[in-house]
Structure 1
Amino acid sequence: MSTETPRQQYLLGYARVSTLEQDEALQVDALTAAGCGRIFVDKASGSLQHRPQLDALLEHLRPGDTVVVWRLDRLGRSLRHLIDTIQDLQARGVAFRSLTESIDTSTPGGRLFFHVFGALAEFERDLIRERTHAGLAAARARGRKGGRPTVWTPEKLQVAQQMYDSGQHAITIARVLGVSRASVYRALQSTGPLTMMQSSTPHRS
């Protein structure tokens, strides 16, 4: 029979400040007062994909634990990311609390709140998708295609063709005209046969 002591269930705090100059003391004090036995702190932009301390927190979690944050925006990069993260916690048997908004997913009211949150986020995505499709359809009806406007003017195309005809490589043409090499290839292909090898070594002056 195993004599291993079951792991204690913890309140684990997560704090984030957006720059190295900001002080996380306010968040840490609030999380400590809430009873968090350990606090993970990231100093990074909310839009940054990789947050090492959040990753460490997620790896440390066990069923029955609770993640605590000072405010909702400290955890999620966006509403969708916040909802996905909390749904992942719930699937792992981990609760979530936000002190400022008084949300606790270990309670029926807290779980209901995030179900409503998730439904609103899905509704917002559907509206954005619908508006995008309607805008593209309207543009097509007016004879325009979606996407970025071209950087190529008739004058630039003429210069590119002249440089190509004189034996210049695409990388040189791109540098002179301030466009990408791939854009040069596409432009020359659209104006006529392109026989220049894309893998050619650029010539050096």
Structure 2
Amino acid sequence: MTTTIGYARVSTTDQSTDGQVQRLKEAGCSVVRTEKVSARTREGRGELSSILDFARPGDKVVVTKLDRLGRSTRDVLNIVHELELKGAHVQILDPAISTEGPMGKVMLTVLGMVAEMELGFIRDRQRAGIEAAKAKGIYKGRPASLDRQRIVKMRSDGVGATEIAKAVGCSRAAIYKILNEGK
């Protein structure tokens, strides 16, 4: 018995997967897995891991758009490869592409490369905009969210990093980063 599995993903917790879920159900997905996590890496993408672990021969994994599956060409192709090793395939709704045939794999590779290139262009434009704003004195960067003086004072008073982190509401790594800035 084959299963059509939908995978919906958004990058941040304030975004919703509702629109994707609806489209996936309309496309015939009997199971839809959702998660709110960045696709920069596969780390922390438990639902995707679950799909990859349990995919069976003949199963179809459906996503609304290619970037829901992954941000880099390499990552998308690795996911497709893992599914193919299990006898499953990927279907993208927009644009309509399936990895069942060789032409779909070629299109997927090309689209993945274009998406990755566009992401690079976006980062370049963003970096150029920030540099231009800095040159005009408009952009000052993200405001400090932690009271550095308080953290340094607490440390000099003998308070440990764990207690400081609890007191100011952040991670120990953030405390160590601030404490190591002056070194």
Q: Kindly indicate whether the alpha-carbon contact (under 8 Å) linking 1:36 and 1:68 is maintained by their aligned counterparts in 2.
A: yes
Following TM superposition, the consecutive aligned residue runs of length 4 or more in structure 1 with deviations greater than 2 angstroms are: 111-118, 175-179
CA distance in 1, matches of 2:180, 2:53: 50
CA distance in 2, matches of 1:21, 1:65: 31
1:166-177 pair list within 5 angstroms: none
Q: Kindly indicate whether the alpha-carbon contact (under 8 Å) linking 1:83 and 1:117 is maintained by their aligned counterparts in 2.
A: no
Scaled by the length of structure 1, what TM-score is found? 0.52
1:104 partnered with 2:90: no
How many aligned residue pairs are there?
119
Higher helix share: 2
CA distance in 1, matches of 2:52, 2:60: 11
1:178 partnered with 2:152: no
Q: Kindly indicate whether the alpha-carbon contact (under 8 Å) linking 1:15 and 1:70 is maintained by their aligned counterparts in 2.
A: yes
1:13 partnered with 2:17: no
CA distance in 1, matches of 2:181, 2:18: 51
Please list the CA deviations of residues 121-140 of structure 1 after superposition, one character each: whole Å capped at 9, or x if unmatched: 9xx9xxxxxxxxxxxxxxxx
Structure 2 counterpart of 1:78:
72
User: Cα 1:19–1:103, aligned 2, differ >3 Å: closer, same or farther?
Assistant: same
Greater Cα radius of gyration, structure 1 or 2: 1
**% identical equivalent positions:** 37
Larger relative CO (CA 8 A, sep 6+): 1 or 2? 2
Question: Where does structure 1 lack aligned partners over 5 or more consecutive residues?
Answer: 1-7, 125-174, 180-205
Using the TM superposition, give the Cα deviation of residue 77 of structure 1 relative to its aligned residue in structure 2, in angstroms. Answer: 3.4
Structure 2 counterpart of 1:45:
38
Scaled by the length of structure 2, what TM-score is found? 0.58
Q: 3-state DSSP class of the match of 1:30?
A: helix
Using the TM superposition, give the Cα deviation of residue 87 of structure 1 relative to its aligned residue in structure 2, in angstroms. Answer: 1.5
Aligned-partner residue type, residue 65 of structure 2? R
User: Cα 1:15–1:176, aligned 2, differ >3 Å: closer, same or farther?
Assistant: closer
**What is the CA RMSD across the aligned residues, in angstroms?**
2.4
Q: 3-state DSSP class of the match of 2:32?
A: strand
Q: 3-state DSSP class of the match of 2:8?
A: strand
Structure 2 counterpart of 1:59:
53
